[in-house]
Structure 1
Amino acid sequence: MSKVKKILVDKGAEIPFYNRMDFCVGSGRMGLALHKEYYEQLKMVQEAIGFKYIRGHGLFCADMSLIQTYKDESGSQAVEYNFTYLDRVIDSYIDLGIRPFLELGFMPEHMASGEQTVFYWKANVTPPKDYKDWTDMVQAALRHLIDRYGRENVIQWPIEVWNEPNQPDFWKDADMDEYFRLYEHTALAVKRTDPGFIIGGPSISGRLDEACMRSFLEYVSYKKLPLDFISRHNYISHPPEKDGRYNYVKLSSIDDWFQPLDKTRELVDSFEEFRGMDIHVTEYNTSYVPDCPLHDTNLNAAYTAALLSRFGDKHASYAYWTFGDIFEERGVPYTPFYGGFGMVANNCIPKPTFWTFAFYKQLQGRCVHRSDEAIIIRRPEGSYRGILWNTDFGYEGRPLELEIQLPAEFAGYCLVTETVDEECCNPLKLWHDMGEPFNLTQAQTALLKRHSVPLIKSERISCSQSKIKISLMLKPNGVIYFDLSKTKMKSDRGYSYERILRGEIKGEG
């Protein structure tokens, strides 16, 4: 039997908690936004969570058709811009209440200095042959966005220069000196377009991150370049083990996961001119591979719940990579559950992690408790909301029994709990038990969706003492959201819920 852990809540407590989980979310490349199910998955996410910004790759890639070349009358190569698809993508975002966090990349083929590409859709990762051609394109795109969507709107869209230039897969030879040139030309061009734009970088991840970040800050400081925010990514797990099409990882501890981010904060603050500057973690997940079955699990949901409880302490935003599984870095997925980054599986099936974010969206108020397994807030009207998690990444299978003691301020309460764990909300297991079908029938899809929701329980609590005690059992890899709200019974004349339960029927005559 597990030992009961008691949580004592002081209604007057004020514990720092900055819930910025809904500022930004990641996406596959922008061109995928032209797909029907991409839109459906994003709509589903926005209705349940409601992110403010969305960031994805591929603004300048071929499937967006933004830049075209042709031979002019003299036979010379000329350039023209086509914003048809860009408008469709941005219009669809705005229709869903979300705006772009603009990542500038990758390199159009005719503009590239080399032929190195990444992903199956062949994103060119080499510097431009001519930096003026590059900055002309950047400025043309930004001017068009201002003309179409209005300056006051567009200058609020953050702009990030490139993606992971310290990784040789994403920037030729991981040449940081060349990246600094790219950043310099781009940042100056963006500010020339409109000084109100918000520009940042260097969008690094992993490899030599501390050295690369320091060099970037030194370069920007020495050159006195525009820099409105710092960006980086974070994927901390043990190296993946490949098996067929899939990669398997073992998670690091929560403290180890935050260690590189803490070092970045310290490094940024060591520069007087950058001290306190916003840091946007524009990508994070439990692994950096898009075919990792961990992403589809309840463990992923519980681990993410632990991350979200701490992430806002030192970061202006943190964008989960990604909102959905319409994602094709390594080709079109074969199955509905393929270990994709998304919080929504294909066929619009919510994964357990989807609910972690939906729960955190409800945590608006003053934090009165925060620990390694729970966060609880008090609303202005006196209600309480909280999230509890059991990160069993040690695979020990231990349930976590919690007793929460809350101050009783009213005579009656309604307690609602929503539970996501391996028994009541585990679409991956159901799909496995179905035989892991590659292509779902409509009936199978409907069944998976019905199973992919939290277990909801409710209870009326009458208070005769000064404390309310709530007992909850968190199964391994479980997440529980609770809402404790003041209620007052207002039954209609003659209505008796208790009589219904007793099954009483009034006889005739």
Structure 2
Amino acid sequence: MSKEKRILVNQENEIPFHNGMDFCVGTGRMFLALHKEYYEQLKMVQEAIGFKYIRGHGLFFSDMSIVHTYKDELGRDAVEYNFTYLDRVIDSYLSLGIRPFLELTFMPEHMASSGETTTFEWKANITPPKNHKEWTDMVQATLRHLLEHYGREEVLKWPIEVWNEPNQEDFWKDADMQSYFKLYEHTALAIKEVDPDFIVGGPAISGQLDEIWMRAFLEFVRDKKLPLDFVSRHNYIPHPPDKVGRYSYVKLCDIDFWLEPLDKTKAIIESFPEFKGIDIHITEYSTSYLPNCTIHDTNLNAAYIAAVLSRLGDKHVSYSYWTFSDVFEEKGVPFTPFHGGFGMVANNCIPKPTFWTFAFYKKLQGKCVHRSEEAIIMQLPNENYRGVLWNIDFKYNGEIMELLLQLPVKYNEYCLITKTVDEECCNPLKLWHDMGEPANLSAEQTAILKEHAVPLIKSESIVPVNSITEIKVTLNPNAVIYFELNRVERKTDRGYSYERTLKGEL
């Protein structure tokens, strides 16, 4: 079963397209950055994609060892700070050309109003502080250290987000709106007291009662005249997953339906004259909100995210995929290399299909001359073309898509290069399954999975007819294909014949 579509590109078109996919990417809690595997995966991601910022949880969790209490010489309670691990993490980030997008979480136990309300396998405290001054003292001490250690010019480029998903009971005790607003007020004012040029925002909400929360938050900030440099929220597939054993299974929704909460948020923000035009950061998004959801490892995920990336920039400054890596422990240490983890890279540094969606989009520079539900095409200043094509097979009915691209050109010869990621040529999940789903890969198994987990590259020499290049591309179910059409200025060496070489002529 197949469908055909013709795409005629008009190079006079200039379609609005903001490609903010590389602004930020998500990660597990900050401490994990000290793992060797984590660093290797981030290095791999940065070399192939190159994100500008990275955002994760747990800046103030106990494993970062930032805040400590002790008795002074008079027996009084005292506090001291230790930034050894924080500096190691940030040093590793900066060495890879990526900056922190600071999320202020979670509550240190001695500051927490309740020691029994926690989240994740690693027991992060999600309660308000007993004393807001203790909390803001710690926030200010951390920021002053960063300013001193890394320099004001650098650190003021790091956005600061106050908490994570306070509208969810899993991340803020009772999802209490007023207690979060109080935390935001004290924190935002304390941040600006350290330096008024810090970039601070929130509320980083997701799903539940999101419209009510967003409107109430903006009213609170407006009425209190509080600092707010950006607005943030999250977005995931809303359908509840089916859980079996350690795994979750989710049904994808239509892209328009997935975008609907974000469109509503944008409309709410624009309805406030004080916040009209403010930067909106989607600081988390994915196809599922669970780190054991099998969809994340599939080619379907890669094709779906390709479609999402073609549209997310219309109303948002940035959108941060959750996450770059499967070094992640919210539900404990994973048992197998493919376990439905959030990451675009599986453990053992095996790129998943979604990794390549981001690598392909990174190359989309220039003027957008076509955008549709299956393609986005850019023309570079030198009149070469770049594009990403996809075929989402929601229902797994095996439908193949045939695209005929007609591109206006000026020159006599072009080289077409395609990079294909689909269920046949770049599907490490299937290869791992066929191997018997080994929990602990041997060196040989890891090597062959890495060899398979790369795009299929093809090339073709094209001579245009009547200043039009026609390209026929076949997309298998859940394929993502990147193409380049580059002008060729052939410079054949004296005596060399490619044709004779292939024919083996004397």
TM over 0.5: yes
Shift of 1:498: 1.1
Query: d(CA) in 2 for partners of 1:272 and 1:246?
Result: 45
Matching residue's letter, 1:270: S
- How far does the alpha carbon of each residue in 1:62-120 deviate from its partner, in whole angstroms, 9 at most, with x for none? 11001111111122221100000000000000000000000001000111110211011
Query: d(CA) in 2 for partners of 1:134 and 1:498?
Result: 73
Matching residue's letter, 1:368: V
Shift of 1:312: 0.3
Question: In the alignment, what sits opposite 2:200?
Answer: 199
Task: Give yes or no for contact 1:237–1:249 (8 Å, CA) kept in 2.
Answer: no
Question: In the alignment, what sits opposite 1:361?
Answer: 362
Task: Give yes or no for contact 2:391–2:477 (8 Å, CA) kept in 1.
Answer: yes
Task: Give yes or no for contact 1:111–1:133 (8 Å, CA) kept in 2.
Answer: yes
Matching residue's letter, 1:58: G
- How far does the alpha carbon of each residue in 1:33-73 deviate from its partner, in whole angstroms, 9 at most, with x for none? 00001000000000000000000000000110011111111
Matching residue's letter, 1:61: F
Shift of 1:3: 3.5
Moved more, 330-339 or 391-400: 391-400
Shift of 1:501: 0.8
Task: Give yes or no for contact 2:203–2:231 (8 Å, CA) kept in 1.
Answer: yes
Question: In the alignment, what sits opposite 2:70?
Answer: 70
Shift of 1:135: 0.3
Shift of 1:394: 2.3
Query: d(CA) in 2 for partners of 1:49 and 1:3?
Result: 32
Shift of 1:397: 1.5
1:157-196 equivalences in 2 (<5 Å): 157-196=158-197
Moved more, 436-445 or 237-246: 237-246
Question: In the alignment, what sits opposite 2:27?
Answer: 27
1:373-392 equivalences in 2 (<5 Å): 373-392=374-393
Query: d(CA) in 1 for partners of 2:125 and 2:49?
Result: 34
Task: Give yes or no for contact 1:413–1:461 (8 Å, CA) kept in 2.
Answer: yes
Matching residue's letter, 2:39: Y
Question: In the alignment, what sits opposite 1:120?
Answer: 121
Query: d(CA) in 1 for partners of 2:268 and 2:73?
Result: 54
Query: d(CA) in 1 for partners of 2:137 and 2:196?
Result: 16
SS at match of 1:256: helix
Matching residue's letter, 2:160: I
Task: Give yes or no for contact 2:411–2:467 (8 Å, CA) kept in 1.
Answer: no
Question: In the alignment, what sits opposite 1:480?
Answer: 481
SS at match of 2:168: coil
1:301-340 equivalences in 2 (<5 Å): 301-340=302-341
Query: d(CA) in 1 for partners of 2:217 and 2:194?
Result: 23
Query: d(CA) in 2 for partners of 1:140 and 1:118?
Result: 26
Matching residue's letter, 2:6: K
Shift of 1:198: 0.3
SS at match of 1:274: coil
Query: d(CA) in 2 for partners of 1:11 and 1:214?
Result: 42
Question: In the alignment, what sits opposite 1:282?
Answer: 283
Query: d(CA) in 1 for partners of 2:406 and 2:463?
Result: 15
Task: Give yes or no for contact 2:370–2:377 (8 Å, CA) kept in 1.
Answer: yes
Shift of 1:285: 0.3
Shift of 1:276: 1.1
Matching residue's letter, 2:413: G
SS at match of 2:231: strand
Question: In the alignment, what sits opposite 2:97?
Answer: 97
1:344 aligns with 2:345: yes
Task: Give yes or no for contact 2:464–2:470 (8 Å, CA) kept in 1.
Answer: no
Query: d(CA) in 2 for partners of 1:104 and 1:469?
Result: 52
Question: In the alignment, what sits opposite 1:497?
Answer: 498
Query: d(CA) in 2 for partners of 1:129 and 1:292?
Result: 36
Percent of matched pairs sharing the same residue: 72
1:206-225 equivalences in 2 (<5 Å): 206-225=207-226
Shift of 1:496: 1.4
Question: In the alignment, what sits opposite 1:109?
Answer: 109
Shift of 1:199: 0.3
Shift of 1:2: 2.4
Matching residue's letter, 1:343: M
- How far does the alpha carbon of each residue in 1:165-204 deviate from its partner, in whole angstroms, 9 at most, with x for none? 0001100000010000000000000000000000000000
TM-score (norm 2): 0.99
Question: In the alignment, what sits opposite 1:409?
Answer: 410
Matching residue's letter, 2:174: D
Question: In the alignment, what sits opposite 2:438?
Answer: 437
Shift of 1:4: 2.0
Query: d(CA) in 1 for partners of 2:410 and 2:83?
Result: 58
Query: d(CA) in 2 for partners of 1:344 and 1:295?
Result: 10
How big is the alpha-carbon RMSD for the aligned residues of Structure 1 and Structure 2?
0.7
- Structure 2 unmatched ranges of 5 or more: none
Shift of 1:462: 1.5
Question: In the alignment, what sits opposite 1:393?
Answer: 394
Shift of 1:497: 1.4
Query: d(CA) in 2 for partners of 1:345 and 1:208?
Result: 33
Query: d(CA) in 2 for partners of 1:305 and 1:4?
Result: 19
Query: d(CA) in 1 for partners of 2:467 and 2:498?
Result: 27
Query: d(CA) in 2 for partners of 1:245 and 1:3?
Result: 38
Shift of 1:439: 0.1
Q: Which runs of 4+ in 1 moved over 6 A?
A: none
Query: d(CA) in 1 for partners of 2:438 and 2:2?
Result: 38
Query: d(CA) in 1 for partners of 2:433 and 2:156?
Result: 47
Question: In the alignment, what sits opposite 2:13?
Answer: 13
Matching residue's letter, 2:484: D
SS at match of 1:31: helix
Size of the aligned set, in residue pairs, is 505
- How far does the alpha carbon of each residue in 1:222-254 deviate from its partner, in whole angstroms, 9 at most, with x for none? 100000000000012421000000000000100
Matching residue's letter, 1:313: D
- How far does the alpha carbon of each residue in 1:451-481 deviate from its partner, in whole angstroms, 9 at most, with x for none? 0000000001112422110001111100000
Query: d(CA) in 2 for partners of 1:429 and 1:484?
Result: 31
Task: Give yes or no for contact 1:164–1:203 (8 Å, CA) kept in 2.
Answer: yes
1:57 aligns with 2:57: yes
Question: In the alignment, what sits opposite 2:47?
Answer: 47
- Structure 1 unmatched ranges of 5 or more: none
Query: d(CA) in 2 for partners of 1:72 and 1:169?
Result: 36
- How far does the alpha carbon of each residue in 1:104-142 deviate from its partner, in whole angstroms, 9 at most, with x for none? 010001111102110111100000010000000000000
Shift of 1:488: 1.6
Query: d(CA) in 1 for partners of 2:455 and 2:490?
Result: 26
Shift of 1:396: 2.0
Query: d(CA) in 1 for partners of 2:121 and 2:240?
Result: 22
- How far does the alpha carbon of each residue in 1:402-430 deviate from its partner, in whole angstroms, 9 at most, with x for none? 00000021000000000000000000000
- How far does the alpha carbon of each residue in 1:292-324 deviate from its partner, in whole angstroms, 9 at most, with x for none? 010000000000000000000000100000001
Query: d(CA) in 1 for partners of 2:238 and 2:394?
Result: 11
